[in-house]
Amino acid sequence: MPGDLHAQINATVDAFRKHVEQKLEQWRTARDPLAFREMELEVHGDCRGLGDDLCESLLKDLVGDPVFQAETAAAAHAAGKFRDVGRREVEVTLLGGKKVRVVVEYFRQDLRGRPGRKRKSGKRGKGGTGLYPALAALGIWFGVTPALAGEVCRQVVDSDSVRAGRAALDRRGIDIGHKQTLNLVNSFSRRAVEQRQQWLQRMRQQAPAMALLRGKRVVISTDGGRLRERRSSGRGRRRPSGHRGYKAPWREPKLLVIYVVGRDGKVEHTFRPIYDGTLDDCNAIFEMLVGYLKALGVHEAQQLIAVADGAKWIWERIAELVQQVGIEPNKAVEVIDWCHAVGKLSTIAAVPAKWSYAQRERWIRKAKRLLHKGDIDRLVELIDTLAVGRRAKAVSEHRDYFVRNHRRMQYKAFEAANIPTGSGAVESAIRRVVNHRMKNNGTFWIETNAEGMLMLRSYLKAGRFDDLVNWSLTQAAPWWPLNARIASSPFGNDKAA
């Protein structure tokens, strides 16, 4: 460690020691709950300031090291066409909220000689993008340190609004402003979505590199939720806020869930589940499923169990998914969620308008017994007894549900084999990922922001948020050699069985 850095650190610690000595007698007078609480908050606030002072010295020492500057510049040059436009002063916000200014080399993409339309005045295009190699190598993007970026994104994603997230950050002494907070979360999430899409594309096209699911009983499920999208109408007068009117149609975000169960059919908590989602169509969510399953090495799994409701868009794609991930068809099991199937029976029992409550309950109990046994032929016959007269059409619509899902409703056999018969995992994921954060009254989402929030919140609720942040930061600067030793997937430190 250089001598000047030693001197800076010692001076910072000495100044903090003097501050503590001056405050010590005052802190000792805390003899009641209120005073002790205020004292404790003040002490932690002062320690946070010390942390930022130390990090400031370390950051300036790192980026001021000519060897480090040369190494990062050479690595960036080798990875792409950049031209050095000199040193610039940059403001960086540390984890404790302190803003520091450092002077670093700035590279701009060298687009000279390439065909293309000239950038118009006031329009920032590819010609305006650049790179600070020394900062990028340390994971400093968007003007904040990697620890602060992860903490801001976590709090905003975990809270029910940006305002609530900022309030949680403020209690830790972090306040970077509403606009910067929003820009940071949106910028980080958009980049993470792009990185994930590129990674999944590679996983779909190459042989599995991991065997995390070897010998496991794997359960997959998918379903859709609801949120409101904000679409600009592009017409009308601007309001006092500066915005024009907009439309807010409903959209159906789709989520996937992957988890592992043991021989007894209970969830294995040694494997953290995988949640993810998209606002795209049915094909997109299944492409994501294929990518994740191939990356995890599901072809070596003991069993692949698909559990979901009776939506046709799900079951029409399962066979192709099994083929694409490379697992043997005899190891794949398809299961219709028991509660959804029973719900269909209740809907059918409600068709006869003159039935009493007792008559409906008797019919439902009989139908449920047949359903549980897996005797779908007799169940269909029972349903047909109601398909008479004017109610024939209403009953027949639901009858087809049981006919086409005959083999997916062998519940007695499923229970004997300890195969899950409920899709509660994906239903819970939709409630926690979408409903509690993205379906609030008066909340309307720009599509790209919604995609980012879906991904970040999915990883957060699956207990994989820090892994995602670490992976995304390294993927942003793949040219830096030291990033090669860090996890090459969003699964972090997960290891094969």
Tell me the per-residue pLDDT of 34-75, one tens digit each, with 9 for 90 and over.
Answer: 999 999 999 999 999 999 999 999 999 999 999 999 999 999
189, with CB counted inside 10 A (0-12, 13-18, 19+), is buried
Split at pLDDT 50, 70, 90, the class of 79 is confident
Which range has the top average pLDDT, 30-39, 73-82, 112-121, 437-446? Answer: 30-39
The three-point CA angle 9-13-15 to 5° equals: 115
Q: What average pLDDT does range 98-113 have in this prediction?
A: 83
Residue 430's pLDDT is 96
CA 162-179-148 angle, to 5 degrees, is: 70
Q: What local confidence, expressed as pLDDT, does residue 127 receive?
A: 44
Say whether pLDDT at 141 is over 90.
yes
Answer yes or no: are the C-beta atoms of 45 and 173 closer than 8 Å: yes
* 319-323 LR contacts (CB < 8 Å, sep 24+): 320/286, 321/286, 321/289, 321/290, 321/293
Q: Is the pTM of this model over 0.75?
A: yes
Q: Which residues of 49-84 are buried (b: 16+ CB within 10 A; e: fewer)?
A: bbebbbbbbebbbbbbeeebbebbbebbbeeeebee
- Structure tokens that stand for 166 in this block: 């900022």
| Residue given tokens 């003040």 in the structure block | 42
Task: Note the pLDDT of residue 209.
Answer: 67
pLDDT value at residue 489: 82
- Considering only CA atoms, which of 161, 153, 189, 181 is closest in space to residue 437? 161
**pLDDT score, position 10:** 92
Percent of the chain with pLDDT strictly greater than 90? 73
Asked whether residue 287 carries a pLDDT value surpassing 70, the answer given is yes
Average pLDDT value for residue range 3-28: 92
> Which residues 6+ apart lie within 8 Å of 45 measured at CB?
173
Here the tokens at position 32 are 């009641």
Look over the chain and give the mean of its residue pLDDT values, rounded to a whole number. 90
Instruction: Return the pLDDT at 490.
Output: 87
Q: Which range (60-64, 245-249, 426-430) has the least confidence?
A: 245-249
pLDDT single digits (tens) 168-223: 999 888 888 999 999 999 999 999 999 999 999 999 998 776 788 999 999 999 99
Average pLDDT (95-115) is 81
Give residue 56's Cα distance to chain centre: 31
Looking at residue 359, its pLDDT comes to 94
- Quick check: 246 pLDDT over 90? no
Residue-level pLDDT at 228: 92
User: Going edge to edge, which strands form the sheet with 332-336?
Assistant: 274-278, 254-261, 217-224, 303-308, 332-336
Mean pLDDT across 138-148? 95
Q: What is the pLDDT of residues 378-425, one digit of tens each?
A: 999 999 998 888 888 888 888 899 999 999 999 999 999 999 999 999
Give yes or no for residue 447 having a pLDDT over 70: yes
Q: In residues, how long is the chain?
A: 497
What phi and psi, each to the nearest 5 degrees, are found at residue 488? -95, 10
Q: What is the pLDDT of residue 281?
A: 94
Question: Once rounded to an integer, what is the mean pLDDT over residues 23-33?
Answer: 93
* 145/138 Cα distance (integer angstroms): 8
Return the pLDDT at 282.
95
Torsion of CA 423, 429, 432, 433, to 10 degrees: -150
Which percentage of the chain shows pLDDT scores above 70? 92
Amino acid identity of 390?
A: R
Whole-angstrom Cα distance, residue 422 to residue 427?
10
Whether 129 shows a pLDDT value over 80: the answer reads: no
pLDDT at 126: 46
With helix as H, strand as E and coil as C, how does the chain read? CCHHHHHHHHHHHHHHHHHHHHHHHHHHCCCCHHHHHHHHHHHHHHHHHHHHHHHHHHHHHHHCCHHHHHHHHHHHHHHCCEEEEEEEEEEEECCCCCEEEEEEEEEEECCCCCCCCCCCCCCCCHHHCEECHHHHHCCCECCECHHHHHHHHHHHHHCCCHHHHHHHHHCCCCCCCHHHHHHHHHHHHHHHHHHHHHHHHHHHHCCCCCCCCCCCEEEEEEEECCEEECEECCCCCCCCCCCCCEECCEECCEEEEEEEECCCCCECCCCCCEEEEECCCHHHHHHHHHHHHHHHCHHHCCEEEEEECCCHHHHHHHHHHHHHHCCCHHHEEEEECHHHHHHHHHHHHCCCCCCCHHHHHHHHHHHHHHHHHCCHHHHHHHHHCCCCHHHHHHHHHHHHHHHHCHHHHCHHHHHHCCCCCCCHHHHHHHHHHHHHHHCCCCCCECHHHHHHHHHHHHHHHCCCHHHHHHHHHHHCCCCCHHHHHCCCCCCCCCCCC
CB 471, CB 456: distance < 8 Å: no
Chain segment 459-473, per-residue pLDDT in tens: 999 999 999 999 999
Is the pLDDT confidence value at 227 over 90? Answer: yes
Rounded-to-integer distance, Cα 447 and Cα 229, Å? 7
Angle CA 152–157–159, to nearest 5: 100
Contact (Cβ atoms closer than 8 angstroms) between residue 185 and residue 156: yes
pLDDT band at 497 (very low <50, low <70, confident <90, very high): very low
Task: Examine the pLDDT at 364 and tell me if it is beyond 80.
Answer: yes
